[in-house]
Structure 1
Amino acid sequence: MPKVTKKTLNCRGRLVDLRTPAVMGILNVTPDSFFADSRVTLEKTVEVARKMLDEGATFLDIGGYSTRPSAADISPTEEADRVLPIIEQILAAFPNALISIDTFRASVARQAIEAGASLINDVAGGTLDAVMFETVAALGVPYVLMHLRGTPQTMQSLASYENVATEVIDELAERLVMLRSLGIKDVILDPGFGFAKTPSQNFFLLTHLREFALFDEPVLVGISRKTTIWKTLNISADESLNGTTVLHTVALLQGASILRVHDVREAVEAIKLTQQLTFF
């Protein structure tokens, strides 16, 4: 199995070992996320979080802004009002839970970390908030640097590449240099499957995922139940668990360190099985 050089993340003084890939469970505090079963309410938060943690999730990813194409834009205040009570409720029930805040806004990220979150997952890679990188540096938490062109509203018109893998790597490299210049040490790279990329580009990117090892940083893959799967199979997002597991397996064999998923148990099983494989 391929291994990344960097094998740990420092989450509030707790070292997370990535020699065995980790699972990040998705909890969307939105009314319009593309997969309805990932949406949670304050009343169901503890129940959903408990299930994910029991099934083996290392991280819980809380998002209050839907990034699917044509989703409604909301203010930073509304986004914070959605996610902060969820973070507080989860940590009240599970004080050791590692929570990731899924936001591209520095103000929301700061409030979430102050509320107890341990990790910032930025779908825009710092491109949509000029002070995101300096905020991450000041907070001293791990940061997911995802590749995106444009905004969630315009990204699908910007999926033009000569070589999607090479160009994504080059664009992430530029952002990584900026992060390093600010002293940010724990960076996770996310190629941004489905963000400014067509289904065929997503498949190409997945087959070339091993090339991201040149950064010596952990790689996060977020392809769970996405359009690439269900449109290719001519099914719905509700029916795409099997396809998701297939692509998760490919990602693991290509060196992924974190899977961001809707279905924790199945992802954990994929990790356990691929870990038993030996390549010579």
Structure 2
Amino acid sequence: MSIKHIDQATYNPLIAGSQMTISFTDLTADQKSGLANYFAQHNQRFITQENQDLLQITHRDLETVIADFKQNAIIATNELEAIYKDSQIFFAAGNRSFDITDKPMIHSIMNLSPESFYDGKDHNLKEYLGRIEEQIAMGISFFDIGGKSTNPKAGDMSADEEFSRMEPYLKEIRKAFPDIILSVDSNNPITIERALDHGVQVINSISGFDTPEMIGLVERYQAPVITTYNNRDKPTDNVHQSLLDYLDDQVTALKARGLKDENIILDPGVGFTSRYEGITKEEIAAEDVTKIKAIRAMADRRLPILVGVSNKSFMGTLFDREIDDRLISSLLVEYNMVMNGGRLIRVHNIEETRLLMDIFNTLAL
């Protein structure tokens, strides 16, 4: 008996409902009958042919099949387990690894910048740690901390000022919650290096890793990254292709510095769109929609993909939603992006997003 995955080049486990095709050859009559009966009972497509038998199945359902076959011994599961493992997609940081093939992961925004567009305010340390504790109880393990707003109206600040906002919080977070994954939301290499030295494991840079200073940090610390396509200051004729080309170049450069697939998160950069003189808010929103739609092509890279649309301004332009009335539109866009390959959802509204992901995990094809 031989079992092979015959469409690896075209199958994409990140796309909801995507099915792989598995070929079975040299089955005995009993094995063929047992498989046909099992898959008929479980509404799986099993096609019997003269020289081979074909199974079309999702990655999620294959996990169930392997567990069942281990119990009822219709066939040995070694080859099926190898196919399953070859299709898995992981995010790894620190000493932890997360299988995100079928189960998206929430990335909690924990701003420390009063200028932030959504929940900007001065923070109380006790209250801040309490929020993290509540979210851990909800199953959240990945938190994003930044001391400087990326809002284009907020202006810039020195690394000293930016890190001074984070430092007391980082010390207490690491002391209280040593097992969580922390990312630093910054594009200043000085700030980032200080954060890494204070226990942050992931670099979240809206400016990517194009400079010697930024790529040098990756090489020295071997820190996982979120790299963003940001064309805010770069008018672009073909946003879709420019986005894919830029992120491909980033992956090549980051792998050359030692990172692996599971250490590289791709961000299409929704909200980090053209801001040149004369551009209309409708044109900006149209670029954001192009980036949202590009996620399906990004998923062909089979790397972790960030969904970062929470409460962003294109929802105001397209759907006439004020900033405090964008929850429903945020959730619907996030769900669409997860169905098309997004796996790390960077959000403000944790409880509602967790419910959304529970629904996805229950109903996903």
TM exceeds 0.5? yes
- Please say if 1:91 is aligned against 2:192: no
Residue of 241, 247, 252 corresponding to 2:338: 252
Shift of the alpha carbon at 1:76?
Answer: 0.7
Counterpart residue identity of residue 357, structure 2: I
Structure 1 residues 180-229: Cα deviation after superposition (integer angstroms, max 9, x where no partner): 22112211100110102521121122123110022221100110000011
Counterpart residue identity of residue 71, structure 1: A
- Please say if 1:182 is aligned against 2:257: yes
Shift of the alpha carbon at 1:22?
Answer: 0.5
Question: 1:260/1:110 Cα in 2 relative to 1: closer, same or farther (>3 Å)?
Answer: same
Q: Could you say which residue in structure 1 is the equivalent of 2:160?
A: 77
Q: Could you say which residue in structure 2 is the equivalent of 1:111?
A: 194
Greater relative CO (CA pairs within 8 A, separation 6+) = 1
Counterpart residue identity of residue 170, structure 1: D
Q: Could you say which residue in structure 1 is the equivalent of 2:19?
A: none
Question: 1:37/1:26 Cα in 2 relative to 1: closer, same or farther (>3 Å)?
Answer: same
Q: Could you say which residue in structure 2 is the equivalent of 1:270?
A: 356
Does the 8 A contact of 1:62 with 1:102 survive in 2? yes
Structure 1 residues 76-114: Cα deviation after superposition (integer angstroms, max 9, x where no partner): 111111112111122222221211111112222221122
Superposition pairs of residues 30-69 of structure 1, within 5 angstroms: 30-36=113-119, 40-69=123-152
In 2, the alpha carbon distance for the partners of 1:80 and 1:196 equals 26
In 2, the alpha carbon distance for the partners of 1:95 and 1:183 equals 25
Does the 8 A contact of 1:227 with 1:237 survive in 2? yes
Q: What is the DSSP-based 3-state SS (H/G/I as helix, E as strand, rest coil) of the residue aligned with 2:106?
A: strand
Shift of the alpha carbon at 1:55?
Answer: 2.6
Superposition pairs of residues 20-35 of structure 1, within 5 angstroms: 20-35=103-118
Shift of the alpha carbon at 1:259?
Answer: 0.4
- Please say if 1:230 is aligned against 2:305: no
- Please say if 1:9 is aligned against 2:96: no
Q: Which moved more, 1:263-272 or 1:242-251?
A: 263-272
Q: Could you say which residue in structure 1 is the equivalent of 2:243?
A: 168
In 2, the alpha carbon distance for the partners of 1:39 and 1:33 equals 11
TM-score (norm 1): 0.89
Residue of 227, 230, 236 corresponding to 1:148: 230
Shift of the alpha carbon at 1:11?
Answer: 1.8
Shift of the alpha carbon at 1:51?
Answer: 2.5
Q: Could you say which residue in structure 2 is the equivalent of 1:137?
A: 219
In 2, the alpha carbon distance for the partners of 1:114 and 1:233 equals 43
In 1, the alpha carbon distance for the partners of 2:123 and 2:342 equals 27
In 2, the alpha carbon distance for the partners of 1:231 and 1:133 equals 36
Does the 8 A contact of 1:145 with 1:190 survive in 2? yes
Q: Which moved more, 1:75-84 or 1:1-10?
A: 1-10
Matched residue count: 271
Identity of aligned residues (%): 26
Shift of the alpha carbon at 1:37?
Answer: 5.8
Runs of 5+ in structure 2 lacking a partner? 1-11, 16-86, 275-283
Shift of the alpha carbon at 1:278?
Answer: 4.5
Q: Which moved more, 1:249-258 or 1:37-46?
A: 37-46
